Amino acid sequence: MKSEILQPSTDSLKALSRIAQTVSCIQEIEPLLKKVLEIAIQMLTAERGFVLLKSGINEKGFVVKSSSNLTEAQITSLTGVSTSVAAQVMASGESIIVSDADIDPKYRKNDSIVLQKIQSIACVALNVNSQNIGIIYLDSLTRNSKFTEEILPFLTAFSNQAAIAIENLRLVQSLREENNCLRIEIQRGQELGEIIGQSAQMQKVFDVIKQVADSDISVLVEGDSGTGKELVARALHTNSQRKDKPFMALVCGSLPDSLLESELFGHKRGAFTGAVTDKKGLLEAADGGTFFLDEIGVLSAQIQTKLLRVLQEGEIKRIGESRVRKVDVRIVSATNKKLTDLIESGDFDEDLYNRLNTISVTLPPLCDRVSDVPLLAHHFLDKYAKKKQQKITGFSETAIDAMLTYNWPGNVRELKNTIERAVILAREELITPTDLRLPEINKSTASLETETATTLREIQENAVKKALKKHDGNIPEAARTLEVSRRWLQYKVKEWGL
């Protein structure tokens, strides 16, 4: 009976074009091998098959990567003996076609061929640059699909194409892994605890934290909402000798004044209606540790005075008590309001400000440190992809561009939320701009025009930013527009970390 195998001229071309298409859209090795095997089986009207790839992890040097209609035991018997067809192709890198295995004197006594009643075998080597990286094995148990030597040129072309695709994907994968490792390495040198940042501005912040963490001086952390003020407060605590003592945080605006006072300083039983027992305040509870006062700008005058006493004398008085208690707490405070403005309007005590602000750390808005955006984005991607067990390996180039040009009014918090959502929405291995769902805002104009510059320095900085943008960062040209000297501009660009 005549076999129904392919007509080399048309069908083989179709198969070759299919494999070319497959190669361009599959990004993972396993699905690629599955597809390669599927196409090969279909084209030869084979019944069973498998793909082995060379691997350094077992002594045989080849591992099964994909199979169809074959059990593990059957594959072992087809590859285990050195006289088997598969073993010979693995050893020589030369393809073998056996048309009538049951009568072929070379193979008819072969155990697996007899036991599995194999009629025809086609086994091709996957060769790249004269190196054998694996094999594709196909067989048929019926006489209907007899493989002949005629199919060899087609099979060789097919397997060469598949081999290149496999090798390319392996290369991409190893580059991806290397890239991940390098990124983690880089990140290690660019973080302080949980705080990530490689920009010059963040490096300055890290330097200050490292310098002052171990002292008891009060630190005022300034920055817009979502810039990481709380993270800095925690880092100051965890990098100090107080790290094993409590870290207590209170958002000053979260409670009405009367409650806030008793929360902070504690009260004596009967001091006011509802004070049924003596209560220790949070400042006392934080003894030996760090106290983080968030949104300090909203404190009332009364509480400001009491707080000043804590800072000046290290003492507190519970409400309704005359006894003075010593407390040893380090105060870190944060604000997204300009305290100097509040002092001017009489809403904030200057002495308290000076005490809180022994040293200040200012966190710049994210749009002023764009070089941190990709690093933070990858950090959050690793975190959320791991949490959701999703295989997302990175961002498309256009997604990175979109993140770099967006102005991030909600700062790092907004970036974090954006990535968390994108991980849920992503359908591919790489996050796309569609997954990010960023609002359409033009970064540079938005950040410059919505800014309400009040000080001379802010006005100057804005003018410099605009001029630099207009001239694509060209300092001599920007200096000419601003009518300042080139040296002055260079000095300012460095000073402001632009």
Ligand X SMILES: Nc1ncnc2c1ncn2[C@@H]1O[C@H](COP(=O)(O)OP(=O)(O)OP(=O)(O)O)[C@@H](O)[C@H]1O
Interacting residues toward Mg ion by CB under 5 A: 230
- Distance (Å, whole) CA 31 – CA 46: 20
Residue 37 vs residues 32, 41, 44, 122, 165: alpha-carbon distances, Å: 9, 6, 11, 12, 13
Residue 225 near ligand X by CB under 6 A: yes
Residue 223 near ligand X by CB under 6 A: yes
Q: Which is nearer to Mg ion, 191 or 230 (CB)?
A: 230
- Kindly tell me the sign of the dihedral angle through the C-alpha atoms of 497, 448, 362, 402: negative
User: Which amino acid, one-letter code, is at 421?
Assistant: R
Residue 50 host element (H or E): strand 48-54
User: Which amino acid, one-letter code, is at 105?
Assistant: P
Residue 412 near ligand X by CB under 6 A: yes
Q: Least Å distance between CB 222 and ligand X? A: 9
For the residues of 199-230, what is the DSSP string, one character each? SHHHHHHHHHHHHHTTS---EEEEESTTSSHH
In the numeric block, which tokens belong to residue 342? Answer: 């509040």
Of 40-48, 96-104, 381-389, 412-420, the window that binds ligand X (rule: CB under 6 A) is: 412-420
Q: Which is nearer to ligand X, 318 or 416 (CB)?
A: 416
Residues 6+ apart with CB under 8 A from 35: 22, 26
Residue from 229, 237, 369, 378 touching ligand X (CB under 6 A): that is: 229
Q: Do the beta carbons of residue 121 and residue 151 sit within 8 Å?
A: no
- Binding pattern to ligand X, positions 434-473, x when CB under 6 A? ----------------------------------------
Residue from 120, 201, 227, 418 touching ligand X (CB under 6 A): that is: 227
Residue 355 binding result from ligand X, Mg ion, none, given CB thresholds of 5 to 8 Å by partner type = none
Q: Least Å distance between CB 492 and ligand X? A: 25
Residue from 32, 101, 125, 195 touching ligand X (CB under 6 A): that is: 195
Residue nearest to ligand X (CB): 228
Q: Which is nearer to ligand X, 416 or 465 (CB)?
A: 416
Q: Is 144 exposed, middle or buried (0-12, 13-18, 19+ CB in 10 A)?
A: middle
Residues 6+ apart with CB under 8 A from 31: none
Q: Least Å distance between CB 184 and ligand X? A: 15
Q: Could you say which residues in the range 42-101 bind ligand X, by CB under 6 A? A: none
Of 126-134, 410-418, 434-442, 446-454, the window that binds ligand X (rule: CB under 6 A) is: 410-418
Of 78-86, 121-129, 228-236, 459-467, the window that binds ligand X (rule: CB under 6 A) is: 228-236
Residue 64 vs residues 58, 72, 209, 233: alpha-carbon distances, Å: 11, 9, 53, 53
Specify which residues 66 forms β-bridges with: 51
Residue 411 host element (H or E): helix 411-425
- Binding pattern to ligand X, positions 231-260, x when CB under 6 A? x-----------------------------
Q: Which is nearer to ligand X, 89 or 377 (CB)?
A: 377
Residue from 230, 263, 287, 347 touching ligand X (CB under 6 A): that is: 230
User: Which amino acid, one-letter code, is at 161?
Assistant: Q
Residue 194 near ligand X by CB under 6 A: yes
Residue 48 binding result from Mg ion, ligand X, none, given CB thresholds of 5 to 8 Å by partner type = none
Q: Least Å distance between CB 330 and ligand X? A: 18
Strands 315-316 and 325-326: antiparallel
Q: Do the beta carbons of residue 94 and residue 155 sit within 8 Å?
A: no
Residue 465 binding result from ligand X, Mg ion, none, given CB thresholds of 5 to 8 Å by partner type = none
Q: Least Å distance between CB 412 and Mg ion? A: 11
Residues that bind ligand X (CB under 6 A): 194-197, 223, 225-231, 336, 376, 412-413, 416
